[in-house]
Amino acid sequence: MGALVHIMSGIPGSGKSTYARQKFAAAVVVSADDLFVRPDGRYVFEPERIGEAHASCFRRFVDLLAAGTPLIVVDNTNVHCWEISPYVLAAQAYGAAAVQVHRLLVDTNIAWSRCVHEVPWRTVKAMADAMRDAPPLLPWWDVVEVDR
């Protein structure tokens, strides 16, 4: 049987990581943020490396699928369908049993106030607007909307 894949979707500070840890404690979690965690545990964001971070996250995801990991969570913002699609396609290619997208909906001011990544307000607002204005996710994706 293939992996169960859960893809988090939400603006910075929406509670994606907390939700994933609480709901999927046994999962292996992949995140672009992993690249910015220092050996001492400190998070140091380097915006010039964001492309590298997402590529590294996706490679790790594919490696986990290939290794037969039973439960995987993708913990990135994933506010656009084009960000989610590669993960869904890879999961399908590796025979995943199910893919669920968890869209965490939260007031922009609340999310920004608790964001630990120092994302500027205007960026969080733009992401929230993009998420709100986006067409519905593809109908065969199992989308769980969570108010945080």
pLDDT tens digits, residue range 37-67? 999 999 888 889 999 999 999 999 999 999 9
Q: What is the pTM of this model?
A: 0.88
pLDDT tens digits, residue range 72-120? 999 999 988 889 999 999 999 999 999 988 888 888 888 888 877 677 8
Per-residue confidence band for 139, with pLDDT thresholds at 50, 70 and 90 = low
Place of tokens 């996250």: 57
Q: Report helix, strand and coil shares of the chain as percent, to nearest 5.
A: 45, 20, 35
Q: At what angle do helices 81-93 and 50-66 cross, to 10 degrees?
A: 20
Q: What homologous superfamily is domain 4-147 in, according to CATH?
A: P-loop containing nucleotide triphosphate hydrolases (3.40.50.300)
With 80 as the cut, is the pLDDT of residue 134 above it?
Answer: no
With 60 as the cut, is the pLDDT of residue 1 above it?
Answer: yes
pLDDT of residue 142: 55
User: Which among 50, 69, 49 has a CA at the least distance from the CA of 60?
Assistant: 69
Each domain of the chain, given as residue ranges in start order, spans 4-147
